[in-house]
Structure 1
Amino acid sequence: MLHRPTLIDPRLPAVLLALASAGVLGAAFVFQYGFGYQPCILCLYQRVPYAAVLGFGIITLAFPRWRGLGDALLVASGLALLANAGIATYHVGVEHHWWAGTSACGATGGAALTLEDLRAQVMKAPVVRCDEIQWELFGITMAGYNVVVSLALSAFAFLSARLAYRAAGRTEAAA
């Protein structure tokens, strides 16, 4: 009999979350390399949780028989995406000048060892400030859309983890 995965099987939500994360990262790279929108440091920070969720999905698929691993990684995915929503919310506030950005916002890179190195670094590196909006649609910036996407995916991850955990409890009780 062919087993069709459902949301109570952590593999399906893990794959869906991994695909969504790959899609968001892909879109970020298209904006960066295809359209020339250079990311600020907060934009780069927002990519890390998506990469982690993608990795969690791969691990869930690679080790399907490890009991509880898929559930735990769904919770970890939810937490990573929730943290990402926090970073994106902070970025929205910086963009709209509700609060100041970090010291890295608008920085040009690593520390130069000599004055000539510093001068060369400043001259060749474009400064991408966190408080300057590069792109928006319907008055919402990329960081604003990231808040919505991260919260929705986080809720999906937590709901899926709960369903998988409850299903595993019923299966163990029946055994």
Structure 2
Amino acid sequence: MQPNPFRWSYRSQFLLGFLACAGLIGFAIFSQFQWGLIPCPLCIFQRIAFAALGLVFLIGALHGPKGVRGRRLYGLLALIPAGVGTYIAGKHVWLTTLPPDQVPECGPPLGFIWETNSFTQTISKVLNGSGECAKVDWDFLGLSMPAWSLVWFLLLAIWAVYAGYRSR
């Protein structure tokens, strides 16, 4: 029986996941420097989550485990940064939907927060969000950038599990 030429290999699927993450980070950097969209702290944390997810995809693609357990392990490992990113993006989308009178006040810049707080305090303050995180500067097809990030985190999580658990 001939192998199906339209079935992607595990390495190809994980490489595509890496390229998607790299493209999303590239678009975020492009929008920052070409369009002047300054990222809020939640945006920066989403970029970090995409980078971590992309790293798992890249390592999985380069390693290309032959056994089912290895492929499934990478699929599950990818769920960690995808889950963190989904949480952050979901929190960000929630902030953008708040009525103006319920939006938290704008906080200090991320650099100042890092310098004046411990690591856990910084994470806590950033994840609580602030006024600059509630501002929507860009949308495409009716979805804001945080909403698109949420969609991509979910799609990439599904992709990682599919690639890791697909029978070969």
Rounded to whole Å, the distance in 2 between the matches of 1:27 and 1:106 is 26
Q: Which residue of 2 aligns with 1:30?
A: 30
Alignment of 1:135-150 (within 5 A): 135-150=138-153
Q: Which residue of 1 aligns with 2:85?
A: 84
Rounded to whole Å, the distance in 2 between the matches of 1:52 and 1:5 is 29
Q: Shift of residue 155 of structure 1?
A: 1.1
Matched pairs, number: 148
Rounded to whole Å, the distance in 2 between the matches of 1:69 and 1:145 is 30
Q: Which residue of 1 aligns with 2:112?
A: 110
Rounded to whole Å, the distance in 1 between the matches of 2:6 and 2:76 is 19
Aligned residues of 1:37 and 1:134 also touching (Cα < 8 A): yes
Rounded to whole Å, the distance in 2 between the matches of 1:64 and 1:139 is 38
- TM-score between both structures, scaled by the size of structure 1: 0.70
Q: Which residue of 1 aligns with 2:125?
A: none
Structure number having the greater helix percentage: 2
- TM-score between both structures, scaled by the size of structure 2: 0.73
Q: Shift of residue 128 of structure 1?
A: 7.8
Q: Shift of residue 69 of structure 1?
A: 3.4
Closer, same or farther in 2 for the Cα pair 1:148/1:65, shift >3 Å?
closer
Alignment of 1:4-83 (within 5 A): 6-7=7-8, 9-65=9-65, 67=67, 68-83=69-84
Rounded to whole Å, the distance in 2 between the matches of 1:5 and 1:72 is 24
Q: Which residue of 2 aligns with 1:116?
A: none
Cα deviation digits, residues 27-76 of structure 1 (max 9, x gap): 00000111111000000111122111221222223323574434312222
RMSD, aligned CA: 3.1
Cα deviation digits, residues 112-164 of structure 1 (max 9, x gap): 78xxxxxxxxxxxxx9811111112343210011111211121111122111x
Cα deviation digits, residues 97-117 of structure 1 (max 9, x gap): 26756x9x632232678xxxx
Closer, same or farther in 2 for the Cα pair 1:5/1:65, shift >3 Å?
farther
Aligned residues of 2:53 and 2:78 also touching (Cα < 8 A): yes
Code of the aligned partner of 2:16: L
Closer, same or farther in 2 for the Cα pair 1:160/1:62, shift >3 Å?
closer
Larger radius of gyration: 1
Rounded to whole Å, the distance in 2 between the matches of 1:86 and 1:27 is 21
Quick check: 1:131 aligned with 2:131?
A: no
Rounded to whole Å, the distance in 2 between the matches of 1:91 and 1:14 is 27
Code of the aligned partner of 1:33: F
Same amino acid, percent of matched pairs: 23
Note the residue ranges of structure 2 that are not aligned, 5 or more in a row.
117-129
Aligned residues of 1:41 and 1:130 also touching (Cα < 8 A): yes
